[in-house]
Structure 1
Amino acid sequence: MAKRYAVILAAGQGTRMKSKLYKVLHPVAGRPMLQHVIGQLNAIQPNEMVTIVGHGADDVAEYIDDNSRLVLQEEQLGTGHAVLQAEDLLKDKNGTTIVVCGDTPLITSETYRMLFDYHENVGAKATVLTARAPNPAGYGRVIRDERNEVERIVEEKDADDHERSVDEINTGTYCFDNKVLFDALQHVSNDNAQGEYYLPDVIEILQNRGETVGAYQTSDFEETLGINDRKALAHAETVMKRRINDTHMRNGVTLIDPDNTYIGPDVVMEPDVLIHPGCIITGKAVIQSDAEIGPHTEIHNCSVGQAALIRQSVAKDSYIGDRVQAGPYAHIRPETSVGSEAKVGNFVEVKKSSLGDKSKVPHLSYIGDADIGSRVNIGCGTITVNYDGNNKHVTAIEDDAFVGCNSNLIAPVTVGKGSYIAAGSTITDHVPEDSLSIARARQTNKEGYVSRIKNQKKD
């Protein structure tokens, strides 16, 4: 098989986005659109990939993996000029080069593969990826001759009325014979309305030389959508969300309301997971079988165990074990580990803590910087007081301990194995195992006090 190369055009400023964020870094399903393009190209394993950048090059470089080389287009003079920036890296190599736009995040690796295969099978020197557009306004038109072969591609600004009526559009994705591409680029002129060097002009140059020019038409116009403004970005988000959700449902996940369920592209879910409406699951989250999530739960970069139940809660960068119950309205913050069959109840916040198997924090508590053993019960209103104004300190609660309601555990402090903390206590010293610790003021009743105060006010 011939060697294959890829050139990604990502140098445009994207003024229609009206944003300080570089155009190709706008996210679709939580991932910059350029990363979608690179990821799909990586799936077909090109021998070499080059990304052409301009505005915001330093920011873009952070999102380009080692599989792509970065080339700067200092002055943006059109798509033909952009591809020419890769000349020093590619011009002398034999093979096929695909040219794609960095703002087309919906094109799949399968479409790229079929375009490559079609181009090479027909022996073309250039092949255009085309689509039928319901509303072709803004796109370059593919003009065919009486034999239904590509005659030329005309930009809308340079098209006449007849050409504008054509609904077959140029998606901006091409395959070229690599050496032929860089030779033809030397002959592209900027004699047009914009004074730019258009990559589609290579098609006409090759046709004038008698070379074979092909057109591979994809059946899915939405896949070829280019993102030029916020409206198109929102539409791409909808398409990507539907694509991701459909994949999970085909793999055995139940989404009760897929139109109102948001799942990131890197999320892994096993069969028989149940997702209620309003959930947002992003990052590298992994959710194991029989887990039930939601409604209205946000999970980011978490591992969720088998048969766990998380309702109306937020969990980030944490481990949640098998058969855990969390929520409603729990907040599991980063670096938390919740053991199997543990409970993080309503209005409980846990941060950078470990909660052992079968331990319970049922409601209205803050657990921060704590190491909690197994089978521990934390009463309502308990706080691990972890911050002294300068540093964070750890609270350790050993296996089988019982902490009564409205207790303050002033870190650093250890509650020994099997110990009890009386309700309302403020614990400042270590508690030995198998002990009862009471740390509260003795109750004093002053009878008749309220009446005396009221009488003083009347006088």
Structure 2
Amino acid sequence: MNIALVILAAGKGTRMKSDLPKVLHEIAGAPMLVHAMQSGAALDPARVVIVAGHGFDTVKATVADHDPDATVVLQEEQKGTAHAVDAAREALADFEGDVIVLFGDTPFVRPETLARMADARGENAVVVLGFEAADPGKYGRLVMQGNSLEAIVEYADATDEQRAISFCNSGVMLADSKSLFSMIAEIESDNAQEEYYLTDVVGIARDRGLSVTAVACDEEETLGINSRLHLADAEEIFQTRARRALMELGVTMQQPATVMLSHDTVIGRDTIIEPNVYFGPGVTIESGAHIRAFSHLEGCHVSRGAIVGPYARLRPGAELAEDVRIGNFVEIKNATLDEGAKVNHLSYIGDASVGAASNIGAGTVTCNYDGVMKHKTTIGKSAFIGSDTMLVAPVTVGDGAMTASGSVITQDVPAEALALARAKQVNKAGMARKLFELLKSKKVKRDKESV
């Protein structure tokens, strides 16, 4: 099926109380608009059109980062949902196929649901997505007769009998492109809000003798986000779904509710995730890894059998090979650690490569930044970096080499060599006692003067 995706994303979102366009507020590390784009992408659309308004340039930049081939069109005035879809008319003027209309602030419609809508389209001119509402409230009601959608009735216009209907309209719609824009051209704004409503397409299609149906989904999929409270609800929905999906695939979470995932987190089976772990965007964990409590990961890759944490931080560009050990209060950034390497405590490894089976002692720092440029530290295989070593990059430590504890390494260390780089220790007999006495007398004098 040749299909185009139109996502409505022009609203300001006044209730969000934000300068940021509503659709760019994030859920699980990605704008809600991107979530909607990802759902629609499951249909392999030939065209993607985003209808933007408020914050147009910012929305356009976000779309380009996610899908450079998508088209972003401007809806200068917001005059209803049909008016918004009509803004995509020119972008789809030469398109032959179906159009599915989604909403940038409704990020949870499942790809499987959209696939069912596409299947239903084969026998129907228009397909609407509906849901059984626990509390129908003022949602538009879908009036069904068997599989046929007879009408969408707004709450204000509904009879008592129609208000008793719990099958409600989500706003999501699928129809042939040419027919859809033809029907939109007939929609009028003779209503209290003087807006053009996409729901009027159903009545026009029925008047043309076309078949219309509705596909049902879970109410949770249709959650629209209009406030910070809704955003928090959406985050919880995403996290619950994502945790459950990972556990069903064989991941152990000791306290699932304390683990925060991102929209693109990938974790292999038999991995153990301890409590209070945060996964930022761009994290891939291979099978059989162990992420210990209170660790923070983003933009990194952790291989099979590796152990991270507790209280570790992996920043973008961290690449851990199999059986690497990263311990407490260790930070890794833009660094590759080969198989079996260990950085067990209180160290910073940035802009570096560490060879297989090397051991990095506590308090080690790769001094990678000179105030203007970043520089690389290279540590070979089976090297031993003594505690409290400062590696002033650019510098290389060879295979099997060793640095003495407390060293400041500013020159390359050959393979199998021992590098000692400490200032000479000088002991001054009795000086500690004299210094303490001097300092105490100064303190007494200062305290008296302050009275």
Structure 2 counterpart of 1:80, one-letter code: A
Q: Are 1:247 and 2:245 an aligned pair? A: yes
Q: Identify the residue that residue 281 of structure 1 maps to in structure 2.
A: 279
Q: Which residue in 2 is equivalent to 1:236?
A: 234
Identity %: 33
Aligned length: 428
Asked if residue 107 in structure 1 is aligned to residue 109 in structure 2, the reply is: yes
Query: Which residue of structure 1 aligns with residue 373 of structure 2?
Result: none
Residue 36 of structure 1 deviates from its aligned partner by 1.6
Report the counterpart of residue 182 of structure 1 in structure 2: 181
Structure 2 contact 384–402 (Cα < 8 Å) conserved: yes
1:440 is aligned, of 423, 428, 436, to 423
Task: State the TM-score, normalizing by the size of structure 2.
Answer: 0.87
Does 2:346 match 1:347? yes
In structure 1, the gaps of 5 or more residues are: 387-392, 428-438
Amino acid paired to 2:23: V
**Pairs within 5 Å for 1:11-410:** 11-64=10-63, 65-90=67-92, 93-121=95-123, 124-144=124-144, 149-156=148-155, 163-218=162-217, 220-311=218-309, 312-317=311-316, 318-333=318-333, 335-369=334-368, 370-384=377-391, 386=392, 393-409=393-409
Cα distance change on mapping 1:397 and 1:227 into 2, 3 Å: same
Q: Secondary structure at the match of 1:307?
A: coil
Offset from partner CA, 1:397-452 (integer Å, 9 cap, x none):
2222222222223x3x2222223244xxxx3xxxxxxxxxxx42242332487369
Q: How far apart in 1 are the matches of 2:327 and 2:438?
A: 49
Classify the secondary structure of the residue corresponding to 1:353. Answer: strand
Q: Which residue of 2 aligns with 1:10?
A: 9
TM-superposed deviation, 1:33: 1.4
2:328 maps to a residue whose letter is P
Equivalent in the alignment of 2:372: none
Against the structure 1 CA distance between its residues 16 and 420, is the aligned structure 2 distance closer, same or farther, given a 3 Å change threshold? same
- Which deviations, in whole Å up to 9, do the C-alpha atoms of 1:134-166 show, x marking residues without a partner? 123353332346x68433323446656665553
Match of 2:447 in 1: none
User: Whole-Å Cα distance in 2 between the matches of residues 455 and 212 of structure 1?
Assistant: 97
Judge conservation of contact 2:147–2:213 (CA < 8 Å) in 1: no
TM superposition shift of 1:31: 1.4
Residue deviations 1:233-262 (CA, integer Å, cap 9, x gap): 222222222222222222222222222222
Offset of residue 382 of structure 1: 2.1
Per-residue deviation, residues 370-393 of structure 1 (Å, max 9, x unmatched)? 221222222222223x4xxxxxx4
The answer to whether the 8 Å contact 1:158/1:192 transfers is no
Deviations 1:314-335 (A, max 9, x none): 10121112111111121112x1
One-letter amino acid of the counterpart of residue 135, structure 1: D
- Stretch of structure 1 that moved more, 156-165 or 174-183: 156-165
AA at the equivalent of 2:74: L
Take 1:452 and 1:185, find their aligned partners in 2: how far apart are those partners?
88
**Kept in 2: contact 1:320–1:339 (CA 8 A):** yes
SS in 2 for 1:249: helix
Aligned-partner SS, 2:416: coil
Question: Which runs of 5 or more residues in structure 2 are unaligned?
Answer: 369-376, 445-451
Return the alpha-carbon distance in structure 2 between the equivalents of residues 40 and 159 of structure 1. 32
CA distance in 2, matches of 1:102, 1:179: 23
Q: 1:451 to 1:279 in 2, by over 3 A?
A: closer
Give the drift of 1:196: 1.0
Using structure 1 for the length normalisation, give the TM-score: 0.86
Give me the whole-angstrom Cα distance separating, in 2, the residues matched to 1:354 and 1:380: 18
| Structure 1 residue 9: Cα displacement | 0.9
Secondary structure at 1:118 match in 2 = helix
> Per the alignment, in what secondary structure is the counterpart of residue 446 of structure 1?
coil
Deviations 1:303-354 (A, max 9, x none): 1122111112110121112111111121112x11112211112221111112
CA contact (8 A) 1:25 1:33 kept: yes
Aligned to 1:433: none
Deviates more, 1:193-202 or 1:261-270: 261-270
Matched letter for residue 73 of structure 1:
Q
Deviations 1:39-62 (A, max 9, x none): 222221123222111111211122
Question: Aligned equivalents of 1:448 and 1:282: distance in 2?
Answer: 52
DSSP 3-state at the match of 1:44: coil
- Counterpart-to-counterpart distance in 2, 1:305 and 1:420: 31
Partner amino acid for 2:327?
G
